[in-house]
Structure formats: structure tokens, C-alpha cells
Chain A
């Protein structure tokens, strides 16, 4: 049963290749962070940029002739307002769907529903943006009497629809991971299905469900095209759901093409990218920590 030298070398080669694939993800993440940061870092120490202004001012005039100002507060607020509202809409729907899939519906319907939910995740974001521009826009104008339908509400509804599939699939996994013994214990004591859900399953799956929500948040924070098209793209602090806003992602997408490479404007957009990266990184890390943390403990 002696093996040829060639075969052995092939085996080694394949093993090495697989190792490389595994490590590459880490390389890519740090690589991306490094290059994004490097593109923007020059401005940080140039004296023409103030952290205080960046986080504290709503005046974003990167191309002003008289005085350039880089206040990202309105953009940060835009991202947060759209994300928070999106989560308020998506979490009840997403968790509700996850509960229905995992506990209430039959096997065949479950398969169908999961495919449909996954289809929802497969719709390209520019298509969502298109829906926002046309259908949602006219719907919001008609229902709320707003002068224009491209606003926080519109963007948030799109983001909600886009985050629901993530929340559903991670949430369903979390509920499925609850040992069946808990269900039998509660049912055998005479629990109704709803009592089983809220007294046993939700507490037991708490961590996984929270992670599902956080991953949904990560999706919503990072989404660009749909919010660019649907939120009205106007830099201001929103005071109502019907105010247009602009988000961090939309700003980068809209302005980077116009900014001369290496200019201050170019660099500040990369700093906005670093900020976004940091937000989503923290949210995802939290999600991972929560999932790995104590699971199923009361």
C-alpha cells in the first residue's frame, strides 16, 4: 500500500491550500481595515481636521469655497435614526417569524416559508432602493400627506425588510438549539404553546435572539444603496419620521466619486468609512460574544 511521492506531495499541497483559505479571511479583514485607515489617516494629523467638529457639528460642507467643514453629526444621526426605526419594525416581525417557523408551523410549510424568507434576502439592494423611490414614496405621500416620501420612514421600512431574513434565520437557529426536553417539560406540566414560548423558549434562547437582532443591526448600519435612494439625501437632524436624512454610507457612495484622490475631502470620506467599519465591527463582535457566552443558562 505504499503511496507514490507525488500523491503525498499533492496531499500536503491541498492541506496547505485549505489552511491558506482559512487564514485568508483574517488577512482580508485586517487588510481592508489597514488600507481604509491609511487612505484617511493623513488628514487626522494634518491640523485641518478636528475630531470634535467631526462628531459634534452638523455642518458638512466638504466642498465649500469659503470654509470647508466636516461635521458628521447629522450623518451619524441619520444612520442611527434609520437603523433604530428599522429595528423597531424588523425585530417584532423577525422574532415573530422565527417563533412561528420553529414552534408553530408544520414541516412542509416551514420549508416553503424558509425559502421565501431567503428570497427576501436575495433581492439586490438597488432593487429595494427602486421600490423605495417608487412604491413606498407614493404610499407615504398618500398616507401621511408628506410633501415628499423619501425620508427616515421610507429608508427604515426598506432596511427592516432587508434585516428581517437575517433575524429570522439566526433567531430560528437559536430557538431550534433549545433542548427539546425543555419543551416536553413545560408541555407535560400543562403549558399552552404560548406559555411555552414566553416562559421557557424566549428566556432560554435569549442570547441567540439578541445576536440575531445585532446581526440585523449590522446589516442595517452598513446598507448603502437602498438608503441612498430612499432617504431623501438631505443633511439635517431629523425631527420627525417624515424628515429626509442622509446616512454615513450614502455620503461615501455619493461623494467619493467626485472627490479628487488624496484631497482632504477624499480622506475624510475614508475616515467616515473607518467609523462605519468600527460600528459594524463592534456590533458583530458583540453578537459573537453573546452567542458564545453562556447559552441556555437561566
Chain B
């Protein structure tokens, strides 16, 4: 999935529009998301930021009435091309959801779930799986606390541990992009800080796109920031400059809390 010209960008969209039935949720969105950075999408409720995020792994298409036009390139490759396999796409573009959604399986099976989906049964040795579990859990900082109870149900974990598990289970598939849909909105401040620290740890190796309602979080935890309103992209830039010197009046109004 490599194209040298686009190597700097993990995700590019061109004139992306999306309709739920007759309702237009995205209106000619054109953006470039940098490779290896943490990019935040902010905006008031219903502005289309989650919809946009859910386009990047095409999980929007679960619902029958969704129609899109325009182009999305991930690592230079148009994901609407007919020869792009959804299954492969989702292997390279992982997603973390608003509510932690570990599967009703053991901690161990949650981590190796992706590997099992994408490999022949025979190709996976127990040692490979064990190594993947230890590696992924170590990376998200859960290994020390759960190593003795890997066979316990993932649903017994604390909410923030569940969310870390949901991030960890993407890692064995070696994704290029990790999409996060308000990953901290169900968590308390302490757990939010832990997830944000985890994000910093992952920066550089993965391109992370995070949708957030929490402007302070966008400011703390992202390198680049996009502001959306009513399905349109309003402004983007380096996070610090967008927050300190917005160019668009609507951005200023939103950041100052005059609406949204």
C-alpha cells in the first residue's frame, strides 16, 4: 500500500461527501492527515467528525442507507477501489470505540482475535500467540497487572483497562493507522490521562486519528487538529497554532465556547 508521492500522508480525502439517506453528513471534505502524527478531529455534536472517522475503515457501510462520493486514500491507495479488500483495509486501519468494547472472550483471546481472523489456523503456533499477547499488553502497560489472569474474561477488567485492551488488540496486526472515536469519553480524568500517555507512547509508529469532544484533550494530546462544522472542514493546522491564532472567525467562536 505504498506510493512514494503520498508517503508523508497517512490519510487523504478529496471532495468526500456522505449521505445517510437524504441527510448529508459530510460535505466535500478534503484533508491530508500526516503520517506518524496524532491528529485530532474536533467540532460540536453532529458536525460529522465521527462519521468522517468511520469512513476511514469503511465501517459506516454497515448501515444500508449510506452513500458516499469522492475519494479517500490511505497510504496513497484509494480505499474505494474495487480491488481493495475491506478485510485487509481493516487490518491496516484499526479502530478504538467510544465505549470500550472488548469481546466476551478471555483477555488472551481478545488480543489474538485479529491474528486468528487473518491467519491460517496452522500458521499460528502457541509461541507466536503468546509473544503477540505479551508484546501488545506490554505496549499498552497492562502486562504487569493482567499477566496472571490472561484466561479470565475481558469483561471483568476495569473500564480503563478494557479500553487499553481494545487498543492492545489492534497491535498484533501491525496497523498503520489507528482511529479513535472519543476513546476517553467513558473514562474518568485519571484513566483519561493514562490513555493519553499511551497515545504519546504510540506516536511515530502509528498514525493516530482521534475524534474528541474535549477541546482540552485535543490541545494536550494532538499534533495536528481539524475543526469541523455541519459536515464541513472549517480549519486545520498544527494544534497549538489553531488554538492560539485561529484564522476563521467560526473557529474562534467555537474555541471560545460561544456555540457547540
Contact B99 A181 (CB under 8 A): yes
A179 to B114, CA, bound (A): 19
List of A residues within 8 angstroms of B154 by Cβ: 298
Specify which of B88, B113, B116 lies most central, judged by the most chain A CB atoms within 10 Å of its CB. Answer: B113
Q: Find B101's partner among A185, A190, A203 (CB 8 Å cutoff).
A: A185
Contact B90 A189 (CB under 8 A): yes
Contact A190 B91 (CB under 8 A): yes
For residue B191, CB closer than 8 A to chain A, the reply is no
What's the least CB distance linking A208 to chain B, in Å?
13
List of A residues within 8 angstroms of B91 by Cβ: 189-190
Looking at the complex, which of B8-16, B56-64, B207-215 is the stretch in contact with chain A? Answer: B56-64
Given contacts A106-B64, A199-B113, A298-B155, contact A188 B103 (CB under 8 A): no
Contact A186 B97 (CB under 8 A): no
For residue A120, CB closer than 8 A to chain B, the reply is no
For residue B5, CB closer than 8 A to chain A, the reply is no
What's the least CB distance linking B124 to chain A, in Å?
14
List of B residues within 8 angstroms of A200 by Cβ: 103-104
For residue A191, CB closer than 8 A to chain B, the reply is yes
Contact A298 B97 (CB under 8 A): no
A6 to B188, CA, bound (A): 54
Interface residues of A (CB under 8 A from B): 106-107, 179, 181-192, 195, 199-200, 203-204, 296-298
A53 to B194, CA, bound (A): 71
Q: Which residue of B lies closest to A206 (CB)?
A: B104
Contact A184 B97 (CB under 8 A): yes
List of B residues within 8 angstroms of A195 by Cβ: 117
Contact A189 B169 (CB under 8 A): yes
For residue B185, CB closer than 8 A to chain A, the reply is no
A183 to B103, CA, bound (A): 9
What's the least CB distance linking A196 to chain B, in Å?
9
List of B residues within 8 angstroms of A107 by Cβ: 64
Specify which of A107, A181, A190, A298 lies most central, judged by the most chain B CB atoms within 10 Å of its CB. Answer: A190
For residue B48, CB closer than 8 A to chain A, the reply is no
Contact sample, A vs B, 6 pairs, CB 8 Å cutoff: A181-B99, A184-B62, A184-B95, A195-B117, A298-B105, A298-B155
* B 151-178 contacts with A by CB, 8 A: 153-155, 166, 169-170, 173
For residue B118, CB closer than 8 A to chain A, the reply is yes
Q: Which residue of B lies closest to A187 (CB)?
A: B59
Q: Which residue of B lies closest to A181 (CB)?
A: B101
What's the least CB distance linking B50 to chain A, in Å?
12
For residue B231, CB closer than 8 A to chain A, the reply is no
Given contacts A107-B64, A184-B97, A189-B170, contact A298 B104 (CB under 8 A): yes
Contact A188 B169 (CB under 8 A): no
Contact B104 A188 (CB under 8 A): no
What's the least CB distance linking A197 to chain B, in Å?
13
A188 to B97, CA, bound (A): 10
Q: Which residue of A lies closest to B95 (CB)?
A: A188
List of B residues within 8 angstroms of A296 by Cβ: 104, 155
Q: A190-B117, A200-B103, A203-B104 are in contact. List 8 more A-B contacts (CB 8 A).
A: A186-B103, A186-B117, A187-B90, A188-B59, A191-B117, A192-B117, A296-B104, A298-B109
List of B residues within 8 angstroms of A188 by Cβ: 57, 59, 90, 94-95, 97
The 4 closest A-B pairs by CB, nearest first: A181-B101, A298-B104, A190-B90, A188-B95
Q: Which residue of B lies closest to A182 (CB)?
A: B103
* B 90-112 contacts with A by CB, 8 A: 90-91, 94-95, 97, 99, 101-106, 109
Contact B99 A190 (CB under 8 A): no
Contact A203 B105 (CB under 8 A): yes
List of A residues within 8 angstroms of B7 by Cβ: none
Q: Which residue of A lies closest to B113 (CB)?
A: A189
